[in-house]
Amino acid sequence: MAASEADHALTAKKQKLEEGDKIDSALSPLKSFKGFSFEKVLCENAKSKSLFIMGQFEGSDDKAVVLLEKMPFSSERATNYVCQDTNLKETLKNDIYGTYDAYIPVQENAVKATVIYPATEKHITKYTDQERFVVTETADLYKSITLPYLEEKEFSVQWVYNILDKKQESERIVFEDPDPETGFILLPDMKWDRKNINTLYLQAIVHKHGIKSLRDLNGTHLPLLRNILKNGSVAIKEKFDVPRSKLNIFIHYQPSYNHLHVHFMHIKNETYGFAHLLSDVIENIELKEDYYQWKTLTYVIREMDELYKRFKDAGHL
């Protein structure tokens, strides 16, 4: 939880304490969801196998948020799953393959439930799902929708310049090539703990200013891109002993900030969505210098992204 939320929550609780009522139900452990009235599903995630629910407990006007998550299996308990107490209901059979609904013993199949009560508006927003949509951005749509949006917003990348100018995070730099045209700084991504090699994750940030994204890359950038691919990999091999055959090296489109950067990620660290491998980017530009000015690029955007509204208002979603 974020500090601000915990803060909000404490304020809410303090008010309750002053009111002197409904405290017990907020603090005593629940034995079941008896008295809970379901209001709505805030978010459903099939991949993480979670479901976030909003509702209320009997006798209170406060909202409660319930986070349900399926839990991983435990190797040590494997024999308790594949046993005679597990009932099977066949759902499909083809040759040697059979699929079943398996009802494993209830004590082996707990779900993790987190109850937030009383829940603030911020909790509710935080745990509410946003719709996602696939955008098919043709070259023309880039020019008529995406580029004007970026220009209008003028998103600041001052924090990136601070890194490049060693005003920030200079102690975190893993490797630098200072060339203003083909150089870059390599440093760990904030998501990496810098200990676990299996989750290794670094970013190469180019020294050259003004390359907003993949869309801007053309034949003139080939020396820069080849340099990052080669010397970024060499640096990671030297510093962390992870060879290139263990790395996914890619560019996101849309990027999370509009200054060219390349992700170096251990292959055990699954990538999300459709990333563009740096080696593919180089080869495509070798084939056609303006490949990324010409190509239709497909990506996923969220309902609350302003770019979503722009595409929708223009009738493209």
Stretch 8-67 residues interacting with its own copies (CB under 8 A): 9-10, 12-13, 26-27, 29-36, 38, 41, 44-51, 53, 55, 66
Residues 123-182 that bind its own copies (CB under 8 A): 132-136, 159, 168-169
The least distance separating its own copies from the CB of residue 179, rounded to whole angstroms, comes to: 26
CA torsion sign for 238, 239, 243, 249 is negative
C-beta contacts of 30-33 below 8 A and 24+ residues apart: 30/115, 33/66
3-class DSSP assignment, residue 307:
helix
Q: Is 208 annotated as a binding residue?
A: no
The least distance separating its own copies from the CB of residue 266, rounded to whole angstroms, comes to: 8
Residue 276 among the catalytic residues: no
Q: Is 254 annotated as a binding residue?
A: yes
234 binds its own copies (CB under 8 A): no
Strand order in the sheet with 247-251: 175-177, 184-188, 201-206, 261-266, 247-251, 276-277
Binding residue (CB under 8 A) for its own copies from 56, 63, 116, 260: 116
The least distance separating its own copies from the CB of residue 147, rounded to whole angstroms, comes to: 20
Residue with tokens 């603090």: 27
Q: Are 218 and 285 in contact (CB under 8 A)?
A: yes
Q: Is 201 annotated as a binding residue?
A: no
Q: Is 207 annotated as a binding residue?
A: no
Binding residue (CB under 8 A) for its own copies from 151, 280, 306, 313: 280
- Per DSSP bridges, beta strands 247-251 and 201-206 are unpaired
Q: Is 84 annotated as a binding residue?
A: no
Binding residue (CB under 8 A) for its own copies from 17, 88, 234, 314: 88
Q: Which of 209, 207, 210, 214 is CA-nearest to residue 228?
A: 207
Identified catalytic residue from 123, 207, 261, 266: 261
Beta bridge partners of 134: 300
Q: Which of 44, 48, 129 is CA-nearest to residue 302?
A: 129
Number of residues assigned to the chain: 317
Residue list, annotated binding site for substrate: 159, 169, 189, 191, 252-263
Among all residues, which ones are annotated catalytic? 261
Feature table: binding site:
159, 169, 189, 191, 252-263
